[in-house]
Amino acid sequence: MSSATKKTVFVLNGPNLNLLGTREPAVYGAQTLGDVEKLCTQACERHGLALRFHQSNHEGALVDWIHEAGRLHAAGELAGVVLNAGAYTHTSIALHDAIKGTGITLIELHISNVHARESYRHHSYMAAAAKAVMCGFGVLGYGLAIDGLAQMLAQPAG
């Protein structure tokens, strides 16, 4: 399949995820963000999807990428978005509004099981705007989320 006809998956990572590999390895594991990108590339290749992979420590950059995904969605060229918003998950009405405002299919993802951690990580502003929420699979969750988006594309009513 040529890249022109492939639908695109955006994988967006928020603050501090650039530190993966050295950041609290007991919580987030030893794999780096580069390793996560490779895993996402492989998952997209399995499903004939194109990948856009980004990380930023800045909320507005994440909003801008969601808007860009929204433009692809409107053109029928988006498979969906996997968002690990990091700590913005628990604070950002702006990201919630961006997801709602674009109508994209978005999977909220966390490497750790946020519900087994501090209570301030239990609330998510993303969840009410997300199609699905997953946490606790470690970095494997990224590949699983892409598999899920691909299955939803194949069986839209499922």
Residue 101 CB, shortest distance to ligand DQA, in Å, is 22
Count the alpha carbons within 13 Å of 69 in the hemisphere toward its beta carbon.
32
Contact set for ligand DQA, span 90-119 (CB under 6 A): 110-112, 114
Which of 87, 127, 128, 140 contacts ligand DQA by CB under 6 A? 87
Strands (E), the chain: 8-13, 50-55, 78-84, 106-110, 132-135
Measured in whole angstroms, how far is the alpha carbon of residue 13 from the centre of its chain?
A: 7
Q: Give residue number: closest CB to ligand DQA.
A: 86
Q: Give 70 or 86: the residue with its C-beta nearer to ligand DQA.
A: 86
The sign of the dihedral angle between the CA atoms of 128, 130, 132, 133 is negative
Asked if 124 is part of the footprint of ligand DQA (rule: CB under 6 A), the reply reads no
Q: How many residues does the chain have?
A: 158
Q: How much is the CA Rg of the chain, to the nearest whole Å?
A: 15
Which residues are identified as catalytic? 28, 110
Selected binder of ligand DQA within 70, 80, 86, 143 (CB under 6 A): 86
In the complex, what is the shortest distance from the CB of residue 38 to ligand DQA, in angstroms, rounded to a whole number?
18
- List, in order, residues 6 or more apart from 116 with CB less than 8 Å away: 136
Contact 110, 37 (CB under 8 A): no
- Asked if 89 interacts with ligand DQA (CB under 6 A), we say yes
To ligand DQA, the closest distance from the beta carbon of 135 in angstroms equals: 6
- Least CB distance to ligand DQA at residue 4 (A): 33
Site residues for ligand DQA per CB under 6 A = 16, 84, 86-87, 89, 110-112, 114, 121
